[in-house]
Amino acid sequence: MDRRYSVALTGLAALWAAATPAVSDGHDIGLTYGPRPAYLIDQMSDGALKSTLQACLGQTPTRTDFSIGHRGAPLMFPEHTVQSNIAAAQMGAGILECDVTFTADKELVCRHAQDDLHTTTNILVSDLADKCTTGFTPATADAGATAECRASDITLAEFRTLTPKMDAADRTAATPDAYQGGTAGFRTDLYAANTDLMTHAESINLFRSLGVKFTPELKSPVVDMPFDGFSQQDYAQKLIDEYKAAGVPASDVWPQSFDLDDVLYWIEAEPEFGAQAVYLMDEYNADGYSPMDPATWPNTMAELKGMGVNYIAPPLWMLVTLEDGRIVPSTLATEARAADLDIITWTLERSGPLDDGGGWYFQSIAEATDNDGVTFELLHVLAQDVGVAGVFSDWPATVTYYANCMGLR
């Protein structure tokens, strides 16, 4: 194991050692829920679900593929870092994510977007600031501070010199140093120090050492493709090639993309990997789209299945609606199941406190979202009524707890 990973594993194991229950899973770390699941259960309205979840307090955690670490555990750790992913694995996530983009020398790295370095790293206060697509512009009376720094602005060697931070920016900033702030109040900078960025290949090695599976997302380029001779298909193929080079079986990999053409490419060019390729649904961006009205969909669920797609991944709110104040499956969810599509969804615990409707991820059930306990109520409907195969979370312990309590693996 890379010494960098070994040191991080040892340090984070100590960090979580005080939380119970915990048990070794045979991969150098102990599994633990920490305090959050119990806190969320306490917020729930009294009822059968709350009683069932309370009865599982004190259970021994086990790893589950139902629990997917979304960029690791970015509720408290800088996303896509070694430490964020180790924390997610310690919370029992059976699958971890590396969002994949590329550098100027066409090397694959873990970043949520090709153009996020100005909010996720210290690039603006480093010697690489001059390489950014758009340098720092201070806030004025009429506009917030801006910058744009892309992974494709720098080489892999330069990328490795950057320091990760929580994904945030202070839009009122007058200086690059001040711009480094802005972390949301429900997150924290407490665990941001001494964290490590990763290449995609390094994420494969780390995840394998943790005993978990893989769900890389091919991010949409913000540069014109082909990029210096690097085509979109080259990009999609290189992602798969790095798993093949590492000897990872296709059955352990769920490659994802918002671009249906990428998914169809994998289905055609790499059918073993394509069988588990995940179409991330962003139809919500289209004018007039509604998950309750098939007439507004660019493709029916049956049409997607006919193209060879086996997995779809809509955001949480597209899979549910309210009926007499109760959370129930949406039309999209019902038709996806009828078409024999497996469903994964995103992203739980990304919204912050839920006492005001839950924001974007809870928009279809906002009227019923008035406390943090709704997290488990929604999760229960997704698991039992929608029948999702897995749930991305910014704090995987919650999903792991639910899955373990309900006997999901």
Give me 194's structure tokens: 């001494």
163 plus 202 within the same structural domain: no
Neighbours of 96 (CB within 10 A): 26
10 plus 85 within the same structural domain: yes
**Residue 371: inside a domain, yes or no?**
yes
208 plus 288 within the same structural domain: yes
151 plus 125 within the same structural domain: yes
> Of 152, 179, 206, which one is at a domain's C-terminal end?
179
Taking only the tens place, the pLDDT of each residue in 343-385 is: 999 999 999 999 999 999 999 999 999 999 999 999 999 999 9
Counted domains in the chain: 2
290 plus 334 within the same structural domain: yes
Taking only the tens place, the pLDDT of each residue in 209-245 is: 999 999 999 999 999 999 999 999 999 999 999 999 9
DSSP string spanning 198-233?
-BHHHHHHHHHHHT-EE--EEPPPSS-SSBTTB-HH
155 plus 14 within the same structural domain: no
pLDDT value, residue 25: 41
20 plus 164 within the same structural domain: no
**Residue 274: inside a domain, yes or no?**
no
Q: Give the separation between CA 96 and CA 105, rounded to whole angstroms.
A: 26
The yes-or-no verdict on residue 407 having pLDDT over 90 is yes
pTM over 0.85: yes
Taking only the tens place, the pLDDT of each residue in 333-343 is: 999 999 999 99
92 plus 136 within the same structural domain: no
**Residue 260: inside a domain, yes or no?**
no
Give me 303's structure tokens: 């049409």
The yes-or-no verdict on residue 11 having pLDDT over 80 is no
Burial pattern 185-203, b for ≥16 Cβ within 10 A else e, equals eebeeebbeebbbbbbbbb
57 plus 167 within the same structural domain: no
Range list of H helices, 211-329: 232-245, 260-269, 271-274, 301-306
Q: Give the separation between CA 77 and CA 88, rounded to whole angstroms.
A: 10
Q: Nearest CA to 59 among 80, 42, 37, 75? A: 37
Q: Count the helices and strands in the chain (H runs, E runs).
A: 15, 17
204 plus 139 within the same structural domain: no
Q: Compute the mean pLDDT over every residue in the chain, rounded to the nearest whole number.
A: 94
162 plus 285 within the same structural domain: no
**Residue 65: inside a domain, yes or no?**
yes
211 plus 340 within the same structural domain: yes
Q: Give the separation between CA 149 and CA 123, rounded to whole angstroms.
A: 8
**Residue 302: inside a domain, yes or no?**
yes
Residue 203, domain extent: 3-98+198-215+281-406
Give me 378's structure tokens: 């929604």
Q: Nearest CA to 364 among 279, 291, 294, 301? A: 291
Taking only the tens place, the pLDDT of each residue in 292-331 is: 999 999 999 999 999 999 999 999 999 999 999 999 999 9
**Residue 192: inside a domain, yes or no?**
no
Q: Is 362 within 8 Å of 312 (Cβ atoms)?
A: no
Q: Give the separation between CA 83 and CA 226, rounded to whole angstroms.
A: 33
Taking only the tens place, the pLDDT of each residue in 82-134 is: 999 999 999 999 999 999 999 999 999 999 999 999 999 999 999 999 999 99
